[in-house]
Amino acid sequence: MSNGNRKITAASDNENRLGIASWYYSASLTF
């Protein structure tokens, strides 16, 4: 159970990093 939770946390953390990276890239293009 805890192993599955770790995978879910890691996946969502990875999505957050991708979201921040894409937002930063879009912001740099806009400004």
pLDDT tens digits, 13-28: 888 899 899 988 888 8
Q: What is the pLDDT of residue 4?
A: 66
pLDDT tops 60 at residue 1? no
What does pTM read for this prediction? 0.48
Q: Where is pLDDT greater, at 5 or 13?
A: 13
What does 1-31 look like in DSSP terms, one character per residue?
-HHHHHHHHHHHHHHHHHHHHHHHHHHHHH-
Q: For the chain, give every domain's residue range.
A: 1-31
Per-residue model confidence (pLDDT) at position 7: 76
